[in-house]
Amino acid sequence: MPAPREIEIKFVIADMPALEQRLVKLGFRCVTPTTHEINTLYDLPGQKLRRKGELLRLRKYGESWRLTHKTRGVVGKHKSRAEWETPVSDGEHMDGILRALGYRPAFVYEKRRSEWSDGNGQVVLDHTPIGDIGEIEGGPRWIDRTARALGVTPARYITKSYAELFFDWKRRYKRKALNMTFRDCGGRAKTAEQLLLAHNSSAEAEAGSGV
């Protein structure tokens, strides 16, 4: 059975209330109000999953838990990757199982997320320790159409993971935080301008190095 594919883009949110109002006008419905989310990425010794571009994540969203595995992404205009995901009834027991199998927590990131849908795809709005970020997930044409309606141009598309964005931000602002948590990053989200500057700076450096 082939794994479902996740196709998405991220973008920096400059004005969260204005974006929420725009979603309502476009016919989107808030299916999940803002909820605290904490994610733990697991890996094997030597960071075997990271080196293969794979991800194993245990997520707590409110009181619910989900275990997710993602393959290496294919990055073009959008980011696409195979994704297996399943609900977990007891996250602490799942953590114990993963540890017993040799996996260990490698990175933790948290946010406060609301989920919106028009019945064809999903837009999520994240308040994170490094800034406010939106994600648009669905079919490629639907993503572009929705982004355009929200005023998000292709030049503003971000295809990096939250871990990559965090390390961009960390390098740019010379921070010592080990995880993308509100506590480690100073307790409150940074401005969208700071996040965008860190992302653009990293992109320019990669282009200059030929990466």
Domains of the chain: 5-209 (2.40.320.10)
> Looking at residue 89, what is its pLDDT?
97
The torsion region of residue 62 among left (phi > 0), alpha (psi -120 to 50) and beta comes to left
pLDDT in tens, 49-91: 999 999 999 999 999 999 999 999 899 999 999 999 999 999 9
Name the DSSP class of 138.
S
Q: Where are the beta strands (DSSP E) in 62-181?
A: 64-70, 74-75, 79-88, 104-117, 122-128, 131-137
Cα separation, 49 vs 71, in Å, equals 9
pLDDT in tens, 120-162: 999 999 999 999 999 999 999 999 999 999 999 999 999 999 9
Tokens of 65: 């838990």
pLDDT band at 2 (very low <50, low <70, confident <90, very high): confident
Cα-Cα-Cα-Cα dihedral sign, residues 6, 9, 12, 17: negative
Q: Flag the least confident range among 75-84, 105-114, 190-199.
A: 190-199
> Looking at residue 208, what is its pLDDT?
40
Rounded to two decimals, the pTM is 0.88
Tokens of 96: 């114990």
Cα separation, 15 vs 156, in Å, equals 15
pLDDT band at 190 (very low <50, low <70, confident <90, very high): low
